[in-house]
């Protein structure tokens, strides 16, 4: 989402920064290896150059240099102005604080994700979403004991490809209380789900837990990973005629997330899928798609179905590992005629037997210099091989997640039903 943490000392106000959301303001105690000082702290969610949580300090700044040295972590203990339990909050900035006579100078930096408050006794979690498209307000997602209600946002923040698009509410369907650990698990699953269907990271913004009386009991100061909305490569249909494809997709995704190995597989595969969809060069995208296909093949063929041993899977060619994954799901492995450049390409090793053979052969040529020099496959065919590989990965993931609805097929360039 953003680069490394930073802290600088600079003069003037921060009026040039686009308006954000104040999360906290009040007196704080700064603990460092050389002692403690009191200072005023403001914590804000800022939007430029990308969404993140920042802090700024004013008052007692002349003592900061004497209190801290080198690159030690800064510990800020908040005062009583936050209507929830006080917790230590830690950052690991790189300090460049200095003495100054300018009273308006502040020390500022980025805040590591942190939670404050009581972790139990919540009836609902409120949160925002950044850069979610194709989902109408009033979309309800239900699975097991949980219900998520997504509404279009009335508060508009737009800056450099980022905007708040929705607000959300998480409750138990039976109305019972729950804790922050369970809520965080649901929100982590939602984050990966929305990222996958969007082909880009959708930020989950500042979850707030409330009691039955509406009082704030817990909150997490964080914006999860968020991609510029212009980079998204969505494959799930937008809401049409009051029907929500997301509502149909969510239960299978959540149930897979809850399985023994499903969460780890999703956490590994969704970033690969997104990066492959957005990456600029076709060779790099093809390499990532093959990594995803082989990882999912291991997950399904070896770990879940135990069709073959781990040693046996390792001895197979990459093409055979991919075939083992795709063939049982009824995915046609022939090279589609619509990919004309790929169909006409003639490798030095002879004709490709199927699509799995084609994408792995071209991938090998891309990553091995000697084979690359010998390859006679043109750039247009490489681009189409990447399109085919990404289509294979998407279709295999849809099967793994139990989805049989419509999706956008990049090979056919139209919405079709999942196999």
DSSP string, 105-119: -EEEEEPPPEEEE-S
Tally Cβ neighbours within 10 Å of residue 228: 14
- Residue 313's Cβ-side half-sphere holds a number of Cα atoms within 13 Å equal to 21
Structure tokens at 63: 């003592």
pLDDT of the residue at 215? 95
- Residue among 39, 128, 34, 24 nearest 86 (CA): 24
Three-class secondary structure of residue 338 per DSSP: coil
Each residue's pLDDT tens digit in the chain (419 positions)? 333 322 222 222 333 334 678 888 887 776 655 566 677 878 888 877 778 887 777 755 444 444 444 444 556 666 533 322 223 333 334 333 433 344 444 566 777 777 888 899 999 999 999 999 999 889 999 999 999 999 998 765 666 788 889 999 999 999 999 999 999 999 999 999 999 999 999 999 999 999 999 999 999 988 899 999 999 999 999 876 557 899 999 999 999 999 989 999 999 999 999 999 999 899 999 999 999 999 999 999 999 999 999 999 999 999 999 999 999 989 999 999 999 999 988 676 668 999 999 999 999 888 865 555 455 678 899 999 999 999 999 999 999 999 999 999 999 999 999 97
Helix axis angle, 355-367 relative to 282-297, nearest 10°? 120
Separation of alpha carbons 97 and 81, rounded Å: 26
By the 8 A CB rule, do 47 and 20 touch?
A: yes
Separation of alpha carbons 221 and 21, rounded Å: 11
- Residue among 98, 101, 77 nearest 7 (CA): 98
Residue for token pair 């707030």 = 208
The H or E element that residue 57 is part of is strand 52-58
Three-class secondary structure of residue 4 per DSSP: coil
Q: How far is CA 347 from the centre of its chain?
A: 38
CB-neighbour burial class of residue 233 (10 A; exposed 0-12, middle 13-18, buried 19+): middle
pTM value is 0.85
pLDDT of the residue at 292? 98
Structure tokens at 205: 């913004």
């Amino acid at each position: 989402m953003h680069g490394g943490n930073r802290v600088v000392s600079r003069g003037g106000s921060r009026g040039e920064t686009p308006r954000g959301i104040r999360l906290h303001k009040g007196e704080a105690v700064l603990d460092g290896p050389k002692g403690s000082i009191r200072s005023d702290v403001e914590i804000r969610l800022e939007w430029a150059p990308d969404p993140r949580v920042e802090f700024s300090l004013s008052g007692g700044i002349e003592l900061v240099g004497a209190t801290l040295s080198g690159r030690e972590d800064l510990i800020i203990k908040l005062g009583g102005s936050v209507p929830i339990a006080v917790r230590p909050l830690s950052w690991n900035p790189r300090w460049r604080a200095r003495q100054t006579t300018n009273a308006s100078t502040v020390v500022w930096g980025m805040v590591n994700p942190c939670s404050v408050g009581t972790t139990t006794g919540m009836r609902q979690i409120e949160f925002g979403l950044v850069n979610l498209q194709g989902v109408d307000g009033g979309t309800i997602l239900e699975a097991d004991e949980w219900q998520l209600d997504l509404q279009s946002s009335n508060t508009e923040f737009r800056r450099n490809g980022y905007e708040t698009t929705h607000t959300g509410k998480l409750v138990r369907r039976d109305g019972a209380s729950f804790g922050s650990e369970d809520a965080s698990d649901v929100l982590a699953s939602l984050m990966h789900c929305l990222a996958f269907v969007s082909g880009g990271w959708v930020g989950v913004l500042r979850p707030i837990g409330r009691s039955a009386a509406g009082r704030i009991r817990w909150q997490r100061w964080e914006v999860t990973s968020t991609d510029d909305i212009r980079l998204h490569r969505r494959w799930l249909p937008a809401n049409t005629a009051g029907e929500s494809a997301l509502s149909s997709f969510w239960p299978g995704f959540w149930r897979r997330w809850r399985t023994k190995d499903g969460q780890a597989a999703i956490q590994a595969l969704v970033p690969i899928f997104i990066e492959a969809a957005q990456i600029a060069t076709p060779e790099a995208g093809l390499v990532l798609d093959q990594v995803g296909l082989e990882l999912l093949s291991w997950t399904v063929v070896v770990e879940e179905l135990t069709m073959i041993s781990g040693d046996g899977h390792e001895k197979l060619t990459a093409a055979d590992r991919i075939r083992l994954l795709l063939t049982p799901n009824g995915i046609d492995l022939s090279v589609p005629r619509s990919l004309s450049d790929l169909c006409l390409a003639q490798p030095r090793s002879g004709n490709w037997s199927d699509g799995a053979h084609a994408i792995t052969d071209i991938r090998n040529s891309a990553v091995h210099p000697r084979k690359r020099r010998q390859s006679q496959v043109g750039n247009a065919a490489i681009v189409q091989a990447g399109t085919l590989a990404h289509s294979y990965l998407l279709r295999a993931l849809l099967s793994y997640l139990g989805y049989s609805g419509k999706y956008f097929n990049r090979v056919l360039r139209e919405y079709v039903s999942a196999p």
